[in-house]
A = this chain, B = another copy of it.
Amino acid sequence: MPDKVTALDVAARAGVSRSAVSRVFTPGASVSKRTADKVRQAADALGYRPNVLARSLITGRSRIIGLVVAYLENHFYPEAIERLSRKLQEQGYHVLVFLSSNSGEEADEVMAELLDYQVDGIIAASVGMSNDLTQRCEAAGIPIVLFNRAQDDDRLSAVTSDNYHGGRKLAEFLLAGGHSRIAHIAGWEGASTQRDREAGFVAGLEAGGQHLATRGVSDFNFEKAKSVAREMFAGPENPDAVFCANDHMAFAVMDVLRFELGLSVPSDVSVVGYDDVTLAAWPSYDLTTVRQPAGQMADATVDILMDRLADPDTKPRRVALDGPLVLRGSAHIPKGWTS
């Protein structure tokens, strides 16, 4: 029983040199069909497969992509990760997961560990990159793609949806719906997604002559969103529409409105979110929201990574994919409104 079968064992059995074996498993190398057959047969018999780690050492490519993510509670991330991982797998890469808070301290330590594994590339989902780290990756030639977050740094690629525009669309939609006391529940204010969505939303409101009636912050957290909603609707004059910076918080808010405060959505209050996670389409929530095209975003992320891996001189790219406003039942739909 061969505990560990190496290329040398295969070479011995096939009666060739170790190099010959290596070439058989290296696409594009020059080997005669006869040797290739001999080697393959021996490899099969012995159950040989090349050791990826040893290979990485010499080739300098590990075929590992580091994925840093803060939390999976928001269903948008699992959906995206599944797609991301599948696509990378098709290309012969695999994902090494690193969970990190988005506090700079821990994130940096985690990133450093990432580099220890000699990853070929990094996907940072919902996590920022410190300047120092970016510098080190740049120096080591490791491409970084920010997923669902952007950052003002030319060295970083970023894939997001067009958050500003999306926010704006929601504002226009709510204005057209005749709402006059429009509130916003923000996520974590350090996130570019948050800032862009809100900026677009506020700009849209102002273009229509309105302002934010109230505003709360709940860090993309479900329970916090509930508290914020409770406070927001404790006064004598309640908002008649709420834009939650993501679907996850919108669900929390809807739950509070309907089940704690006995309000009706959308008759009493319209609620809109952002992401269009699967759950948003389920009839219990039936949430009007802006779709983030998770599949396309994942595809773009992998494409950027692959391009930069193929040619290190490729410039970092920023992609902001447009996502449609998805009309559902959680908000009053103006007559004749289609997009």
Chain A positions near chain B (C-beta within 8 angstroms):
1-4, 47, 49-54, 56-57, 62, 64, 67, 71-73, 75, 77-79, 81-82, 85-86, 89, 94-99, 110, 112-113, 115-118, 136, 139-141, 251, 254-255, 258-259, 278-279, 282-285
With A and B bound together, what is the CA distance between A47 and B86 in angstroms? 34
From residue A222, how far is it (CB to closest CB) to chain B in Å?
Answer: 8
Residues on B with C-beta less than 8 A from A57 are 51, 53-54, 57
Q: How far is the CA of A75 from the CA of B259 in the complex (A)?
A: 23
What are 19 pairs between A and B in contact, CB < 8 Å? A3-B139, A3-B141, A49-B115, A49-B116, A51-B57, A52-B118, A53-B118, A64-B117, A71-B82, A75-B75, A75-B78, A78-B78, A82-B99, A85-B99, A89-B99, A95-B96, A95-B97, A97-B97, A251-B282
| List of B residues within 8 angstroms of A96 by Cβ | 64, 94-97
Cβ of A98 to closest chain B Cβ, rounded Å: 7
State the Cβ distance, A243 to closest chain B Cβ, in Å. Answer: 20
Closest to A136 in B: B47
- Determine how many copies of this chain the complex contains: 2
- Establish whether residues A139 and B1, one from each chain, have CB atoms under 8 Å apart when the complex forms: yes
With A49-B116, A52-B118, A258-B283 known as contacts, the answer to whether A140 contacts B4 (CB < 8 A) is: yes
Do the beta carbons of B72 and A62 come within 8 Å of each other? no
Given contacts A64-B96, A71-B82, A53 and B51 within 8 Å (CB-CB): no
| List of B residues within 8 angstroms of A94 by Cβ | 96-98, 113, 117
Residues of B with C-beta under 8 A to A85 = 97, 99
CB distance from A139 to the nearest CB of B (A): 6
Least CB distance, A90 to chain B, in whole angstroms = 10
